[in-house]
Amino acid sequence: MSDTLLFGHDGLARAIAVAFRAAGTPDDTALAIADMLVDANLSGHDSHGIQMVKYYLDCQAQGGLDAHATPRVFDESGAVVRIDGGRGFGAVTGAFAMQHGIANARKNGVALVALANSHHLGRIGRWAELCLESGMVSVHFVNVWGHRPLVAPWGGRKIRLGTNPICAGMPATANHPAFVLDFATSRVAFGKVGVAFDKGEVLPEGVMMDRDGAMTRDPGAMVDNEDGGALIAMGEHKGSGLAVLCDLLAGVLTGNGVGTPERQDGDTTINGMLSFVIDPDALGGFAAMESEIEALYDWVRSSLTAEGHDAILLAGDPERIAREDRMAHGIPLAAAAWEGFIEAAMLQGVTREALEQAVSSS
C-alpha cells in the first residue's frame, strides 16, 4: 500500500457518515460531523479531519459525549446569548451557537455568545467562516477540559494548559478574500503531533519537550506515552498568557469550567467557546470600510519576500490554497490514518467493503 492515498471529499464524507450512523448517531448529526471533519481536511488541517473519527467514536461509546444531545439557549438578555451544548457533538453545538449569534448580532449590532459543555468543536476557523457567510465579523476564544492538559506553561515543564485556540474572521472585500485567523496557543495543535506520528515524521524543532523537560522531535513522546511530554506554548510567555486568557474567557465566563486536576481524567473533550459576533452595519456598514481594509492588505502584501518564502500570505490564504488543490486533486491521507479510520468503523460493525464502496461511489 502506498504511504499516501488520495480521496474525493464527497466520498470521504459518505464513509465518515456511515461509521457514525452505525454507532447509533442520528443521521443529521452524522452528516454534520462528516461535513465538519472533511472540511478540515480540505482546508489542509488534517489534524482536525478524519483522524478525529476514532476519538469521537470512543468518546461516544464511553459516555464522554451525548450523540442525541440538543443544544439549548438557557439565557438570552440583550446581546448576550448563553448556550448549554449538553455534551453534544461540536459539529452540532458550534453551528447552533453561531446561528444564534448571527441572528442576535443582526438585531443588536453585536452578540456575545457563551457556549459551554460542548464536545470537541473541531477547527474553530469553521465557525468564523459561518459568520462570514452572513457578512459578520467574529472573534472566538476556546478552552478545554476532560482529558490531560497538553501544554506546559512558560517556564515550566509539566502539562498544565490546553491548546486553547483563538480565531477571528473579517469578511472578504471586492479584491481580497476573507481574513480568517485561527491558531492554537501552543506552537502546534496536538492533532498535528498525531499526524506526524501516523506519517512516521519528526516534529519541527522547538514544539515539544519530553517528560524530563528535554526538547524532542519525536511525536511518540506524547502519542505513545500517556504520562510523557508537553507541547510548548507559542511565543513564549505570550502564548502561555493567551492560553490562560482562553480559560478565563471561554472557561470561566461561559460557565464551562477550567482544566484543573479534578476535570482531567474523563478521557473526553469538553469545549467552552466565547464568541463576539459583530455586524459591520452597526458601525457604518462594511462598504465604508473596504477601502481601508484593501489598503492595509495591499501594503502588507507589497513587502519583499524573505528567503524561503515565495509570497506574502495573510490569514486564511493557506486554507484557500489547500482547498483549491484538494478539491481539484483529492484529499491526501497517510495510509496509517486511513487504516485507523477503517479499524474504528469496523468496531461499529461496518465492513471494509462498505467503506471502500462509500469513498468510490460517484
Q: Please report how the helices 9-22 and 53-62 are oriented relative to each other, as an axis angle in degrees rounded to 10.
A: 10
DSSP notation for 77-133: ETTEEEEE-TT--HHHHHHHHHHHHHHHHHHHSEEEEEEEEES----THHHHHHHHH
Segment 275-292 mean pLDDT: 97
CATH number of 193-232: 3.30.60.50
| CA 312 and chain centroid, separation | 24
pTM: 0.94
For residue 47, CA distances in Å to 119, 194, 333, 346 come to: 16, 7, 11, 21
Nine-digit cell string for 115: 457556549
Domain extents for the chain?
A: 1-62+330-362, 71-186+235-322, 193-232
* Torsion on CA atoms 207, 209, 213, 214, rounded to nearest 10: -90
Q: What is the dihedral of CA 239, 240, 242, 243, to 10 degrees?
A: 120
Question: For 225-256, how does the pLDDT look when each residue is reduced to its tens digit (9 = 90+)?
Answer: 666 789 999 999 999 999 999 999 999 999 99
Beta bridge partners of 5: 333
The reported pLDDT for the residue numbered 171 is 98
pLDDT score for 228: 74
Q: Is 152 left (phi over 0), alpha (psi -120 to 50) or beta?
A: beta
Domains 1-62+330-362 and 193-232 share a fold: no
Q: What tens digit of pLDDT does each residue of 176-227 get? A: 999 999 999 999 888 788 888 888 889 999 999 988 889 999 988 887 666 6
Statement: residue 1 has pLDDT above 60 = no
C-alpha 75/C-alpha 127 separation (Å) is 21
Give the whole-angstrom CA distance, residue 241 versus residue 63. 32
Among the four given CATH numbers 3.30.470.20, 3.10.129.10, 1.10.230.10, 3.30.1370.60, the one describing domain 71-186+235-322 = 3.30.1370.60
Question: Tens digit of pLDDT for each residue in 118-167?
Answer: 999 999 999 999 999 999 999 999 999 998 899 999 999 899 999 999 99
Is residue 141 a contact partner of residue 253, using CB atoms and an 8 Å limit?
no
Three-class secondary structure of residue 166 per DSSP: strand
* CB distance 100 to 81 below 8 Å: yes
Distance between CA atoms of 360 and 353, rounded to whole angstroms? 10
Domain 1-62+330-362 has CATH 1.10.1530.10: yes
Of the chain, the percentage scoring pLDDT greater than 90 comes to 84
C-alpha cell, 63: 459516555
Place of cell 515543564: 157
